[in-house]
Amino acid sequence: MNTARRLNVAIVGDTGVGKSSLVNAIFNDQRAATGIGAPVTEGAEYHVSHDGTVGVWDFGGFEHGGDVPPLDGLRERLAQIQSGSQDQAIAVAWFCWDASSARVTDGHRALIAALVNAGVPVVGVLTKVLRRGDAIKEEHSEFAQWIEGEDLGLADPQVYVTAVVADPDFGVEVHGLAQLLRATSALASAAPEELH
Ligand SMILES: Nc1nc2c(ncn2[C@@H]2O[C@H](COP(=O)(O)OP(=O)(O)OP(=O)(O)O)[C@@H](O)[C@H]2O)c(=O)[nH]1
Ligand SMILES: [Mg+2]
């Protein structure tokens, strides 16, 4: 990979969908705090790979009834990041849904639109997707297909299905991240130069 340029990805979505778990899976390292119960990540935390080629903005999850409405919070933070150090400027965002939530809200649509309006291409990602062998749990692939059929302004027609926390006792497999990363890096290099 070209080490002169870093690929910066923003991971965005509701609280608890598994954004920080994706960060840890990308770096194969427990860098970001994850957890059960109350929302974990606050603000936006930046992580970078040891070789400097991949950076990730781990956004705090959006929740109902917070101090700052999610849309305002996202816009504010995006403006800060994109006008800050160019080494850390976001090239692509992942908008994440928990596969079992089976819901796209107007709030999600508005957040995606805010990213797109800020010039950031957005890729749709399902987390915690159950797969056994070649088979994806039917409701999860149905949800991915439903999103693919919606006009959300996503940059990639495909919604990527992932799972990053294995649970061998329940036969839960890890899958999908490598494919998502390949698509993300292709999208970043295809994007107009001013996006970087
Ligand atoms: N089974 C399964 N569980 C997952 C997966 N990804 C995350 N989880 C679990 O989901 C819970 C929440 O994950 P986090 O990564 O903390 O979620 P987050 O989106 O960063 O949450 P906030 O920081 O509050 O916005 C944790 O208990 C994770 O272990 C996955 O792929 N499969
Ligand atoms: Mg988090």
Distance 154 CA to ligand 1 centre (A): 23
- Choose the residue to mutate in 23, 26, 34 for probing ligand 1, maximizing ligand atoms within 8 Å of C-beta: 34
Residue boundaries of the structural domains of the chain: 7-195
Which residue bears the tokens 């974990």? 40
Dihedral of CA atoms 176, 177, 183, 185 in degrees, nearest 10, equals -170
Distance 21 CA to ligand 2 centre (A): 7
Distance 194 CA to ligand 1 centre (A): 33
Taking 70 as the pLDDT cut, the residues of the chain under it are: 1-4, 191-196
Which residue bears the tokens 């596969």? 99
Structure tokens at 56: 């990730």
Residue-wise pLDDT tens digits, 22-56 = 999 999 999 999 999 999 999 999 999 999 999 99
Question: CATH homologous superfamily of domain 7-195?
Answer: P-loop containing nucleotide triphosphate hydrolases (3.40.50.300)
Q: Could you list which residues have their CB under 5 Å from ion ligand 2? A: 19-20, 40-41
pLDDT score for 2 = 44
pTM of the entire predicted model: 0.95
For residue 164, give the ligand 1 atom closest to its CA: 31
pLDDT score for 191 = 63
* Alpha helices (H) in the chain, listed in sequence order: 19-27, 70-83, 106-117, 138-148, 177-190
The residues lining ligand 1, judged by C-beta closer than 6 Å to any ligand atom, are 15-21, 34-36, 39-41, 60-61, 127-128, 163-165, 167, 172
- Whether residue 57 contacts residue 7, with contact meaning beta carbons closer than 8 Å, is answered with no
Query: What pairs with residue 59 in β-bridges?
Result: 44
pLDDT score for 3 = 44
* CA nearest ligand 1 atom 8, residue: 18
pLDDT score for 109 = 97
- Whether residue 122 contacts residue 191, with contact meaning beta carbons closer than 8 Å, is answered with no
Q: Check residue 172 and report its DSSP letter.
A: B
